[in-house]
Structure 1
Amino acid sequence: MVPSEVQATPPDEYHDAAPHWQAPTPPHAMTEASTAVNTPRPSFSYFTSKPLPKASSSSSSQHHRDTEMRRGSSATALAAAEDEDEKARAQAASQGEAKHGQKHPALHASSRSPSVIVVGFEGEDDPLDPHNEPAWKKYACTLTIAVNAFLISCFASAYLFVSPDIEVAFGASHEVVIVGFVTYVVMWGPGPLLWAPLSSTIGRKPVYVGAVALWTLFNIGCARAQSIGVLIGCRLLAGFFGSGCLCNGGASSTDMYQNHARIKATTSYSFVVFLGPVFGPLIGGAVQEYAPKTADGGWRWVFYGGIAAGTLVTIAHCLVIETNHNIRLRRRVKQLQKAQEATEAGDNKAAEDGSVTAKHVRYTTEADEHGLTIQAQVFQVAGSAARMIAEEPIILFISLWQTTVMAVLYLFFEAYPVVFGEGHGFNSFQTGLTFIGVGCGMTSACIWAVTGELRLWDRRRAKKGGQAKPEMRVPQGLVGAVLTVIGLFWYGYTSYPRIHWIVPVIGSAVYGVGAISVMLSTFSYLVDTFAYRAGSAFAAVGLIRSVVTAVLPLGGTQMFENLNPRNASLILALLACVQIATPLLAIRYGEKLRMRSRFAPRVGAGKGQH
């Protein structure tokens, strides 16, 4: 499964807590998800003066000052504002003299409210804008985030393949040991409710560094655990902190890329998150089979490997750029405020003898001036997600669809040892290698998504005169739904020991193509349907998916052993057949449901969107 971001991770613009945030765009991806192909980069005026209420005598000059400040650079804008202040004070003084027979007293620092100037990017080529960073810096940042996401998701499933050693080490049952997997994955649901708002407030980089560092720390706890309770507790906390990367990768891609490059980046990020659980069995199987054995088995080497990888990724995050627009703009605010304070210090000294009037200006950013606190953002996103689960049929249907697809993938972790271990006599490492089939299928689907599907989407939009509706995302998911059914029947009915092992592996590859197609399609549909509320939509869907898919492996082994792989796969295939109705209903009734929704905008996606 994927966490609620990528669950693509939804970009900042789509968070309920602050729909005005800086990065227009999708998450754990998209992730992460997709965004407008031809949507222009946010257009910021250089500065926008927003003074607090002043005397009525200066109200007419204030409008002119605002207009002037939107036209020029910072120095020009500020100079114009000062000139208008002088004119306003002169006018006020004249009026006061005419009315009372005496001059109006000068306005000093103690009697004036400061003007507030909102700082933005200075045009399309502003070097502070992360879109304009050198390509190698953006690629390094993207690669680091992708490796981080792969690491977190990979070590979810790697744990399952060393569980036999853990059972022996602690004398615990298989079901109890699997709880360590369940708690790890379940925390991918609520985790993003904190990490997404936090990354928009303090920056992406501190969240990435802190989250992966703490993930590494709790892997140390897992590696040195002396009881199953300690191991499960550390796994729970590791899953929570690991979701910090999974839910913000899509937002980071949005920060750095535009148009088709953004689509490719978020899609590739989502793919990496899915690919992690596929390679986890390979790593876990290798440790189970070939790692040096200690007194209680070699299972601890999985966590030692995670500690080493987590340390390297933490260092890499420290070296790459910060991509959050608001955090980068704060650097400019700091520089301007420092210069302004020096100017004010001189003005205040001169104002003591009445020769100069002190001028007070405060610089800020749009998000800092009007944004919500972290606590307010968390409650707003969580509250909207809860209401969506209770009131939105779209959320319910997509949750069931995604949950079905990802549940089968996670049941494979329990089914493969039965089919290939017991049926074909493979050891743990060889069984892990058979997951490469699913990985190849996912890779093929991702390549198609950023090439062929992207061109097909452009053609669909062109046929509609440039208008793009969420329902136009569904064909990709419909094809994926059909492929999941074909892949399950193929895998299940070729799982006999007398049939060569490569045949069911090919069937699992077909399922991998279908699974990725469904997930990417539904991510895009959520973004297009709920727009700036997509953050809450991802949280709602991700919470349901995390809980359900995490607990299914508890009964996976019993299901495939007691029913045999053919019958168990038949049940899953029939369930997948029912889910084909979801995209068909979305094509037929999706627009009507959106029109009745309290959360979805009443208008379809605009022209040029992707």
Structure 2
Amino acid sequence: MGNNDVASKSIMRKILSTIPFQHPDQVEMHTHRLEHLKTDSEHLVQFDGPDDPYNPLNWTFTKKAVTTILYGLITMGSAWASSAYSPAISDIEKGYQISNEVGQLGTSLFLLGVGLGPLLWAPCSEVYGRKIAVLGPYAIATILSFATAVSKDIQSIMITRFFTGFFGSAPITNVGGVLADIWSPEHRALAVTIYALTLVSGTVIAPVVGGALVVQDISWRWTEYITGIIMGLVWLLGLIFLDESFPPVLLVYKSRRLRLRSGNWALHAQHEEWDTSLGELASKYLIRPFQLLLTPICFLIALYASFVYGILYLSLASFPIEFQELRGWNALIGSLPFLALLVGFLLGALVNIINQRFYAKKFRANNNRPVPEARLPPMMIGSVFFAAGLFILGWTSGSNIFWFGSICGAVSTGLGFFTIFQAALNYLIDTFQKYSASAVAVNTFLRSLFAGCFPLFVNKMFHRMGVPWASSVLGFISVGLIPIPFLFYIYGQRLRARSKWSKGSV
């Protein structure tokens, strides 16, 4: 037994030596007679000046555009997976003899996975780079979509849905970092608009495709097969055409090539000096995000963004009640109002693009430094449209009222959602510049929590209160949130100056 213990410890020591998250005490056994000599700073590999084409900020416009679009499509695949399940719920309820609330868990568990995933995938992207931290987990999410399709019991469906969300959250978590890598703050808003548009469009297009499958009496499993096929195709495109964009990791690649070519083994990148520890990563992605959440700006902006995101997923369950139950439309026609949300998203994107002129003017006047409050005008406009859309949706839901009113309400809600959602993301990034990864991480966690919980109560709420008053309750909450962007537009700079997390943005 003694020899076995020694052998086991030896094997374990070898395994631990390959893990980059070791504590410094574990490597004290390693010594060298020249270890007291420090490497000269001249051996540090950096970009060759501000115009180095290897620097992602200096990539050609075409390469930046292709990278943005491909990562957007990859993210759309995850968003598609989140809502493609929704039209299948009624068939799953009948097939497995479960309640609507249990059926809705398939959406809620997926979004719970999306909320937890950033705690792992965000640190991975900063250690190993963006591409592997996105495409690696995304490949597993693709496989799990097919696993959901072939599940034989409700437990398997729920488990695979959760882990599809967990692994599928990788692009949702890290694509914002990619956009920061390749676009300057002055031009990033347009890229974020395209990214956000692909993210939310997948959420509203998938139910329409699912509704078409239901009308054709095709098995609910095809909602998952199609999801897996879409995710697999965009994953393959990403694998072929995407390049790494994280500058520290790119410099590691550069230093490796230089060492091999020159034989000068002292050449290295600063990222290689980073002795990554679990404690440091835990502080950045587990502790710091919730410290930021305690600041007024992060809490209220994340709360508002999370609420509107929750309403988006609530609509996956409320639209069938309003348009199929009350109006008697079939699954396909009843899902078409989701396209009205998409029209609203497009109008919201246009508002954000128009605001970019205003932002660019403020940016140049501030010595080419970000001006967070200049991101808020679209949110100020959208807050009114969002609340109004909810009231219109509710009070035009009767079967005796022409359906065009409800469609207008959906367009208004979509416009409000998109402007609030994107402006919140941009405002957090500009406000917490040095800690933007943590701010985005806690925003993703909170909005996924809201989006996962909202579908669970919508069925009882809308049936017991009625569609008009259920929508009105949500509308009144939205009205209460309207002052948030206006207050930060006026007092945001003073609040930023008082916080240690946002002083750098003043």
Question: Which TM-score bucket, shorter chain as reference?
Answer: 0.7 to 0.9
CA distance in 1, matches of 2:255, 2:352: 40
Q: How far has the Cα of 1:288 moved from its partner?
A: 1.9
> Deviation per CA, 1:430-483, whole angstroms, max 9, x where unpaired?
111111111001011112312x10112234556778776433333321111111
SS for the counterpart of 1:435 is: helix
2:4 corresponds in structure 1 to none
Work out which of the residue numbers 157, 181, 186 in structure 1 matches 2:83. 157
> Deviation per CA, 1:363-386, whole angstroms, max 9, x where unpaired?
111222246446632442211112
Work out which of the residue numbers 243, 267, 270 in structure 2 matches 1:363. 267
Is 1:238 the counterpart of 2:164? The answer is: yes
Contact 2:396 2:406 in 1 (8 A): yes
1:434 corresponds in structure 2 to 337
- Which amino acid is 1:516 matched to? F
Contact 2:362 2:371 in 1 (8 A): no
User: TM-score, normalised to structure 1's length?
Assistant: 0.73
Contact 1:198 1:374 in 2 (8 A): no
CA distance in 2, matches of 1:194, 1:151: 20
Q: How far has the Cα of 1:603 moved from its partner?
A: 5.4
Is 1:446 the counterpart of 2:360? The answer is: no
* Structure number, greater radius of gyration: 1
> Deviation per CA, 1:231-277, whole angstroms, max 9, x where unpaired?
10111111010010111112222323335443211221012112221
Is 1:472 the counterpart of 2:374? The answer is: yes
SS for the counterpart of 1:362 is: coil
Is 1:490 the counterpart of 2:392? The answer is: yes
Is 1:145 the counterpart of 2:71? The answer is: yes
Work out which of the residue numbers 297, 302, 315 in structure 2 matches 1:394. 297
- Which amino acid is 1:335 matched to? R
Is 1:514 the counterpart of 2:416? The answer is: yes
Q: How far has the Cα of 1:399 moved from its partner?
A: 2.7
SS for the counterpart of 1:189 is: helix
Query: Structure 1's 371 and 600: CA in aligned 2 closer, same or farther, altered over 3 A?
Result: farther
| Aligned 1:431-580 pairs, distance under 5 A | 431-450=334-353, 452-460=354-362, 469-580=371-482
Contact 1:183 1:236 in 2 (8 A): yes
Query: Structure 1's 161 and 376: CA in aligned 2 closer, same or farther, altered over 3 A?
Result: same
2:245 corresponds in structure 1 to 323
Q: How far has the Cα of 1:415 moved from its partner?
A: 1.5
CA distance in 1, matches of 2:432, 2:302: 15
> Deviation per CA, 1:501-559, whole angstroms, max 9, x where unpaired?
22211111011111111122222221222111122122223222211221111111221
Work out which of the residue numbers 207, 228, 240 in structure 2 matches 1:307. 228
Contact 1:212 1:313 in 2 (8 A): no
Contact 1:128 1:329 in 2 (8 A): no
CA distance in 2, matches of 1:137, 1:460: 28
1:191 corresponds in structure 2 to 117
- Which amino acid is 1:160 matched to? S
1:77 corresponds in structure 2 to none
**After TM superposition, where is structure 1 displaced by more than 6 Å over at least 4 residues in a row?**
108-113, 462-467
Work out which of the residue numbers 198, 204, 207 in structure 1 matches 2:130. 204
| Aligned 1:200-279 pairs, distance under 5 A | 200-258=126-184, 260-279=186-205
Query: Structure 1's 254 and 466: CA in aligned 2 closer, same or farther, altered over 3 A?
Result: closer
User: TM-score, normalised to structure 2's length?
Assistant: 0.87
2:44 corresponds in structure 1 to 118
Contact 2:302 2:424 in 1 (8 A): no
CA distance in 2, matches of 1:550, 1:337: 49
CA distance in 2, matches of 1:112, 1:592: 47
Q: How far has the Cα of 1:576 moved from its partner?
A: 0.8
CA distance in 1, matches of 2:56, 2:491: 40
Contact 1:178 1:554 in 2 (8 A): yes
Query: Structure 1's 398 and 232: CA in aligned 2 closer, same or farther, altered over 3 A?
Result: same
1:596 corresponds in structure 2 to 498
Q: How far has the Cα of 1:574 moved from its partner?
A: 1.0
2:280 corresponds in structure 1 to 376
RMSD, aligned CA: 2.4
CA distance in 2, matches of 1:166, 1:513: 32
> Deviation per CA, 1:180-234, whole angstroms, max 9, x where unpaired?
1101012222211221221122122212221211001111221111111111011
Report the structure, 1 or 2, having the larger helix content.
2
- Which amino acid is 2:287 matched to? G
Query: Structure 1's 163 and 544: CA in aligned 2 closer, same or farther, altered over 3 A?
Result: same
Work out which of the residue numbers 307, 326, 339 in structure 2 matches 1:423. 326
SS for the counterpart of 2:485 is: helix
Query: Structure 1's 464 and 250: CA in aligned 2 closer, same or farther, altered over 3 A?
Result: closer
Query: Structure 1's 253 and 540: CA in aligned 2 closer, same or farther, altered over 3 A?
Result: closer
2:315 corresponds in structure 1 to 412
1:182 corresponds in structure 2 to 108
More divergent stretch after superposition (415-424 vs 399-408): 399-408
Query: Structure 1's 467 and 599: CA in aligned 2 closer, same or farther, altered over 3 A?
Result: closer
CA distance in 1, matches of 2:505, 2:337: 46
CA distance in 1, matches of 2:175, 2:82: 18
Query: Structure 1's 378 and 287: CA in aligned 2 closer, same or farther, altered over 3 A?
Result: farther
- Which amino acid is 1:438 matched to? L
Contact 1:435 1:505 in 2 (8 A): no
Query: Structure 1's 369 and 176: CA in aligned 2 closer, same or farther, altered over 3 A?
Result: same
Q: How many residues align?
A: 472
Contact 1:216 1:311 in 2 (8 A): yes
CA distance in 2, matches of 1:437, 1:274: 13
SS for the counterpart of 1:188 is: helix
Query: Structure 1's 371 and 519: CA in aligned 2 closer, same or farther, altered over 3 A?
Result: farther
1:55 corresponds in structure 2 to none
- Which amino acid is 1:307 matched to? G
SS for the counterpart of 2:302 is: helix
Is 1:582 the counterpart of 2:484? The answer is: yes
CA distance in 2, matches of 1:375, 1:547: 25
> Deviation per CA, 1:335-361, whole angstroms, max 9, x where unpaired?
2212343x7xxxxxxxxxxxxxxxxx5
| Aligned 1:22-61 pairs, distance under 5 A | none
Contact 1:219 1:235 in 2 (8 A): yes
1:51 corresponds in structure 2 to none
Contact 2:189 2:426 in 1 (8 A): no
CA distance in 2, matches of 1:110, 1:149: 46
Contact 2:92 2:103 in 1 (8 A): yes
Contact 2:431 2:505 in 1 (8 A): no
- Which amino acid is 1:311 matched to? G
Q: Give structure 2 stretches of 5+ with no counterpart.
A: 1-32
Query: Structure 1's 319 and 394: CA in aligned 2 closer, same or farther, altered over 3 A?
Result: same
SS for the counterpart of 2:434 is: helix
> Highest relative contact order (Cα 8 Å, sep 6+), 1 or 2?
1
Contact 1:254 1:262 in 2 (8 A): yes
- Which amino acid is 1:413 matched to? L
- Which amino acid is 2:215 matched to? E
Percent identical among aligned pairs is 27
